[in-house]
Amino acid sequence: MRAVLATDLSDAIEAAITSQPCLECLGRYGIDEIDLITVTSPNVTTGIPGNNLGKQTKRGMERQKEHLEEEGFTVETHVMRGTPHRRINGLADRVNADLIIVGSRGKSPLKQRFIGGTVRNVARTAVRPLLVQRIVEADDEHEVANEHLFKRILYATDFSENADHAFDQFHNLKTATEEALLVHVAPPERRPNAEGAADPQERLDELAAKLSEMGIDAQTSVREGVAADEILAAEDEFDPTTILMGSRGQSPMRRLLLGSVSETVTARADSNVLLVPPSRVR
C-alpha cells in the first residue's frame, strides 16, 4: 500500500517522521511505500545567487527520506511549487495512493484550535483517505499527540453510504487496533424509537460483532444532540488515538467533499482524525 506524506520540513513534522511507534502503526496498516512531498510557494525563487533555500529543502528531504527508508519503507521524494493542497491531492491521485498523511500542529485547552489552511483545504478536497496527525508542543519541543496511531479508534457513523465506506477501513486497521468505540448521534427531532426508524443500537451492535470477529474489543454508544458536539464529548470520555469517520455524511451539499460535522471534528478534536471520502469520488 502507498501513502503520500506531506512535509514542510519543520521540527513539528520531523517529530512525526521520526516517531518509530507511528511508523510501525503505518506498517501494520499496510503502508510499505511512501511518497514524501513538500510544496514551496510559486513566488519563492530558489535559483538566485545567495539563496540557499533549494539546497536546504533538498537536504531536509534527503534526511527525512533516509529515516523512512531505515524503517523499511520504499520512499520517493517530490519537491513541487504551487498551491499545497492541490499538489498534495494531485500527487495522491497520480500515484493511486491509499492514504494521505498531513500534520496538524497545536493544542488548545479550550478546544478552540482551528486546523491550518493547508490541512483544511486538503481535507475539503481529498478523494483519498486522509490521516490528520496531531503534533503538540511541549517544553519548546514538538511531539506527536498519540504515538500509537490506531490503538484506540472512535468510529462515528450516521449510517450513510460514506460512513459504511469508512467502516471498511477496519480491514486495514485490524492488526493495529485493540479497542474501538462505535458512536451514532441521533438528532433530537429523529429519536431512535420514531415510527419507521431503524434501531441505531441494533445497527451498532451488528458492527461491533464484525469488529469482535477481527479481534477488536468494541463498545457502542448512541447519543442524542448536535453531532459534532457529541462526537467530541465521546472523544473526551473514550480518549481514542484516532477518530474515524466519513468526510461527508448525509448533507445535501453534494459539491462539498468535507461535511460540516467532519470539518468541525477535525478542527476541534485532540485525537488524530482519519477521514474517508465517498467511494464514488475516487
Q: What is the pLDDT of residue 254?
A: 44
Q: What is the pLDDT of residue 120?
A: 82
Q: What is the pLDDT of residue 280?
A: 57
Which of 41-55, 138-152, 230-244 is least confident? 41-55
And the C-alpha cell for 120? 483544511
Mean pLDDT estimate for the chain: 84
Residue 165 sits in the same domain as residue 108: no
Q: What one-character-per-residue DSSP string does 102-123 give?
A: EEEE---TTS-----HHHHHHH
Residue 207 sits in the same domain as residue 133: no
Pairing of strands 272-276, 130-138: antiparallel
Average pLDDT for 71-77: 95
* Single residue among 116, 144, 172 that ends a domain in this structure: 144
What would the pLDDT profile of 58-73 be if each residue is shown by its tens digit?
Answer: 888 999 999 999 999 9
Residue 169 sits in the same domain as residue 213: yes
Which of 135-144, 186-195, 197-206, 261-270 is least confident? 186-195
Highest mean pLDDT among 8-12, 62-66, 181-185, 244-248 belongs to 181-185
Three-class SS state of 49: coil
How many C-beta atoms lie closer than 10 Å to residue 274's C-beta?
26
What would the pLDDT profile of 44-62 be if each residue is shown by its tens digit?
Answer: 555 545 455 678 888 889 9
Q: What is the pLDDT of residue 265?
A: 92
Does 211 or 11 have the greater pLDDT score? 211
Count of domains for the chain: 2
Q: What is the pLDDT of residue 241?
A: 95
Residue 43 sits in the same domain as residue 62: yes
Residue 124 sits in the same domain as residue 234: no
When pLDDT is cut at 50, 70 and 90, the band that residue 42 belongs to is low
Q: What is the pLDDT of residue 252?
A: 43
Percent of the chain past pLDDT 70, that is, above it, reads: 82
pTM: 0.86
Residue 12 sits in the same domain as residue 117: yes
Residue 133 sits in the same domain as residue 164: no
* Single residue among 144, 163, 192 that ends a domain in this structure: 144
Percent of the chain past pLDDT 90, that is, above it, reads: 55
What would the pLDDT profile of 92-145 be if each residue is shown by its tens digit?
Answer: 999 999 999 998 864 433 333 334 678 888 888 888 999 998 887 776 677 776
Q: What is the pLDDT of residue 238?
A: 96
Residues with Cβ within 8 Å of residue 143, at least 6 apart in sequence: 15, 19, 135, 136, 137
Residue 138 sits in the same domain as residue 204: no
When pLDDT is cut at 50, 70 and 90, the band that residue 197 belongs to is low
* Single residue among 96, 127, 144 that ends a domain in this structure: 144
Residue 112 sits in the same domain as residue 192: no
What would the pLDDT profile of 211-225 be if each residue is shown by its tens digit?
Answer: 999 999 999 999 999
CATH number at residue 130: 3.40.50.620
Three-class SS state of 138: strand
Residue 179 sits in the same domain as residue 63: no
Task: Give the separation between CA 227 and CA 245, rounded to whole angstroms.
Answer: 12
Task: Give the separation between CA 103 and CA 27, rounded to whole angstroms.
Answer: 18
Residue 126 sits in the same domain as residue 165: no
Residue 137 sits in the same domain as residue 24: yes
Q: Residue 16's domain spans which residues? A: 2-144
Q: What is the pLDDT of residue 119?
A: 83
